[in-house]
Amino acid sequence: MIYKAEQKVIKISGVDSQKYLQGQITCDLNSFAIGDHSLFAHCDHKGKVNTLARIVKIADDEFWVLVANEIAEQAVNNFKKYAIFSKVTFEQTEKNIYYTKNDFLENKENIVTLQRKDGVVIYISDNLVKNEENITACQNFYKAKDIINGYPCFNQKLVGEEIPQSFNLQDLEQGISFKKGCYLGQEVVARAKFRGLHKKALFGLVAENIDSDFLLENLSIGGQLNLQLEQGVKQTGMITDFCVYNNNLYVQAILHKDIDLQSKFIVHNNILSIINKE
């Protein structure tokens, strides 16, 4: 199953590219070898996430950022803000990004291959790798896989809303380094960790065998969930994304980090349960 992602590749290059990015994003690029990649956040000065994406080191003076189409231009503009005195350039490329369940290509000339810990393979190419199958089914398959495995979904409605820890970035790959030097929002991110101030985390939820009349319009990114109480419901959390795959509803949401993992949530007569990966 192969899916052409709705993502852009931003090429960041120049002799100062690593030094500049090191002072901008949450992961420690000084520890990267060529070919290394990780999720990261680019925050504002208040520590709120403006971009959550994947970065790969292509060369000592070149990095690629894989980012959702809808925030790509905004991401470039945010990267450029403080670059006036640095020898670094930013370019939105026309490269294609594909997600697949296995590394099936034998000829990888001019193709960059990345592998996630959950087995998903990412191909980046100037050309078409393979014709897509059912686009909607493929998209929902990989979105469901992200939700199940805890990979944060990030889009325009989430820009500037939360700090990186709300997306569990400290537990994902090299998402946050607490040992590197300063970067945008670093004081807020560090304070949240070392003083235990932050009380939110990212969760995946699932409702199996949902009603045949269920409409996705019943949910909205940025909206809340209805937590089932002994009597009635309570609105809580923030939805970051959702999809339906194989008649199951998958929802990703930011909730209180100490929420009871047995909690149930109601969506249009369907019961969502927290996916417990442990």
pLDDT in tens, 100-143: 888 877 777 889 999 999 999 999 998 866 655 666 778 899 99
pLDDT greater at residue 169 or residue 109: 169
Does residue 35 have a pLDDT over 70? yes
pLDDT in tens, 187-209: 999 999 999 889 999 999 999 99
Mean pLDDT, the chain, integer? 92
Model confidence at 2, in pLDDT bands (50, 70, 90)?
A: confident
* pTM exceeds 0.85, yes or no: yes
pLDDT on residue 102? 81
Model confidence at 268, in pLDDT bands (50, 70, 90)?
A: confident
Long-range contacts of 241-247 (CB under 8 A, 24+ apart): 241/143, 241/146, 241/147, 241/153, 241/155, 242/147, 242/216, 243/139, 243/140, 243/143, 243/144, 243/147, 244/140, 244/210, 244/214, 244/216, 245/137, 245/140, 245/141, 245/143, 245/144, 247/208, 247/209, 247/210
pLDDT on residue 136? 73
